[in-house]
Chains A and B, each alone.
Chain A
Amino acid sequence: MSKEEYRIVKGQVMVPYELALGRTWSEFYDYLKEEKIMGKKCGKCSRVLVPPRSFCPRCFEDMDEWVEVSQEGVVETWVYVNMPFFAQEIKIPFISAQIRLDGSDTGFIHQVAGIDLSDFDSVRETVKLGGRVKAVWSKEKKGNILDIAYFEPVK
């Protein structure tokens, strides 16, 4: 038997999960239903974090103050994804972007859409590093991150 003839066995592991969001993240998604993007502000360093956290990752202090941030922001970086990946939720091509929402101190990861994504050259003319984008809401709110459908470039 040659090396090429050694056998391969197909396998799969499927495991269901039930993941607890906890208080802070449950409340964040409740606010999204009201079409509000809320961050948490650290009483010590004054940074506003979106996604919010129950404690400041740098100061290790509990964060109790909710602050509404803007639904508009600046594209800090982005990537045009045109490769299919296993279990990808969004159809390709799509754009992942890091967006600094006005009034927050962290980059927020979401997608930029609402434009023709089929032709990369035209995408480059529309989506710019440092360009401004604005949230577009899903009509039906499911309590997940796609309650914000996407961010679209501000004309």
Chain B
Amino acid sequence: MGKAVAIIGTGQTKHGRRSDVCYPDLVKEAVSAALMDAGITLKDIDGVVLGTMPSMMEGVSSTHFYFAEAMGAVGKPVMKVETCGSTGQSIGHCGFFWVASGMADIVLVVGSEKMSEGDGQATMTTVFDPFFQRTFAAGAPGVFTMQSMEWMYRFKIPEEKGREAAAMISVSNHDNAMDNPYAHIRTRVTMDDVKNARVITYPVRLLDVCPASDGACAVVFASERTAKKICKKPAWIKGLGFRGEEFFYGESDKAIWMSATEAAKEAYQQAGIRNPMKQLDVAELYNPFTYQEMIFYECFGFCPRGEAPDYVLKGAFKKGGQLPCCPSGGTLCTNPIGATGLIRLAEAALQVTGKAGARQVEGAKLALSHAMGGVDQFNAVTILGSKL
């Protein structure tokens, strides 16, 4: 795994519709918060990694040029990494690689999106190939609904049961977001609200789907020596996994989902996790769609294949349950895409360092964070721990 690496600071903007700031100023807000949290200044940073969605999202190409000053990147090496929805985790991995290689001591990682400024679904549709599949693409809801239908059919999950469990996931994420001052959507919803919400792509309804948010997140990675010297409570990176699969939708099995399964397996191996449900204290999944969250539970070995709805209905993943998932309210309540995977990592870091405020899972020592990207193509997992 290379040399030991810790997260020594995180910063987030207040997410939501942020027409009060221009895009670079939004980024600056997260960077300043992360530097303050880490107790360092720009001159301590050896290199900067940025990630966002494709340029179509806000209509500005290669945003690492645009944000050079906001990220404090002038006079420093800069990298830009894009893997669509999994960008936030990919840039976290790059921060890790850079420090773990010994080539940098402190690296600043920044993820951002300002989705209110563009057309998220139009941008997402351009991720499909232009000759065969784009014609039938219906943004993210279309593809994630197809995947959820395939999964329910494969494991013979009755429609009503799937509906009930998905509604419960929506209610619990919305409840959790009430504890998170950074969350975009902070409203309580009831089971009936979810089940009667407007249909987006049947059976997916409005409250099964994440919002389009403006937001940024910054995370500071440091070497073992520096982390021990300047940080009272670092979050240690215990394992990471990333897997991609074929580009064309329909070519690989999305009900079993190799990339999600194998990414978690690799991270577990490095972190010495054999029984995730027992060993993990908290998980921050990338859950833009309620139904899809259940597929992740199965891929990550939280429960047997086809049984996620049963576990959800028993309350296994709720606050106070066996393995609390998304105490932040998750992607379902906040989704500035390029930042989202990094927010998962930052939230996991807050949890294992006891800094998560009202959303703290008491005594959390080991946390999983995750993101998914593309047309169900990429999955990334990072495990954080309170001990080296």
- Chain A residues proximal to chain B, CB less than 8 Å: 3, 6, 8, 11-13, 19, 21, 25, 49, 51, 57-58, 76-83, 85-90, 94, 96, 98, 106-111, 120, 129-130, 144-146
Contact check, B142 vs A78: say whether CB atoms are below 8 A apart: no
Please give, as numbers and ranges, the residues of chain A lying within 8 Å of B119 by CB-CB distance: 86
A79 to B204, CA, bound (A): 10
A113 to chain B, nearest CB (A): 11
Contact check, A98 vs B146: say whether CB atoms are below 8 A apart: yes
Please give, as numbers and ranges, the residues of chain B lying within 8 Å of A49 by CB-CB distance: 251
Among B121, B248, B249, the residue within 8 A (CB) of A85 is: B121
User: Could you say which of B86-94, B127-135, B272-280, B328-336 contacts chain A?
Assistant: B127-135
Contact check, B201 vs A109: say whether CB atoms are below 8 A apart: no
A124 closest partner in B (C-beta): B202
Please give, as numbers and ranges, the residues of chain B lying within 8 Å of A144 by CB-CB distance: 131, 135
A13 to B125, CA, bound (A): 16
Contact check, B251 vs A6: say whether CB atoms are below 8 A apart: no
A13 to B138, CA, bound (A): 21
User: Could you say which of B75-83, B147-155, B232-240 contacts chain A?
Assistant: B147-155
Q: Is B42 an interface residue (CB 8 A)?
A: no
Please give, as numbers and ranges, the residues of chain B lying within 8 Å of A21 by CB-CB distance: 131
A-B contact pairs, 23 of them (CB 8 A): A3-B20, A13-B56, A21-B131, A25-B131, A49-B251, A76-B150, A79-B142, A79-B143, A79-B145, A85-B122, A85-B138, A87-B122, A87-B125, A89-B135, A106-B248, A107-B250, A109-B132, A109-B133, A109-B136, A109-B250, A120-B199, A145-B135, A146-B135
Contact check, B251 vs A79: say whether CB atoms are below 8 A apart: no
Please give, as numbers and ranges, the residues of chain A lying within 8 Å of B153 by CB-CB distance: 77, 129-130
Known: A87-B122, A89-B135. A79 touches B146 (CB 8 A): yes
Contact check, B131 vs A83: say whether CB atoms are below 8 A apart: no
Known: A80-B201, A90-B136. A57 touches B19 (CB 8 A): no
Among A88, A106, A146, the residue within 8 A (CB) of B251 is: A106
B170 to chain A, nearest CB (A): 18
A87 to B120, CA, bound (A): 12
Please give, as numbers and ranges, the residues of chain A lying within 8 Å of B141 by CB-CB distance: 79, 83
20 new A-B contacts at CB < 8 Å, known A57-B246, A76-B250, A107-B249:
A11-B59, A25-B131, A51-B132, A51-B248, A57-B247, A77-B146, A77-B150, A81-B201, A82-B199, A83-B201, A86-B119, A96-B138, A106-B250, A106-B251, A108-B250, A109-B133, A110-B136, A129-B153, A144-B131, A145-B132
Q: Is B312 an interface residue (CB 8 A)?
A: no
Please give, as numbers and ranges, the residues of chain A lying within 8 Å of B125 by CB-CB distance: 85, 87
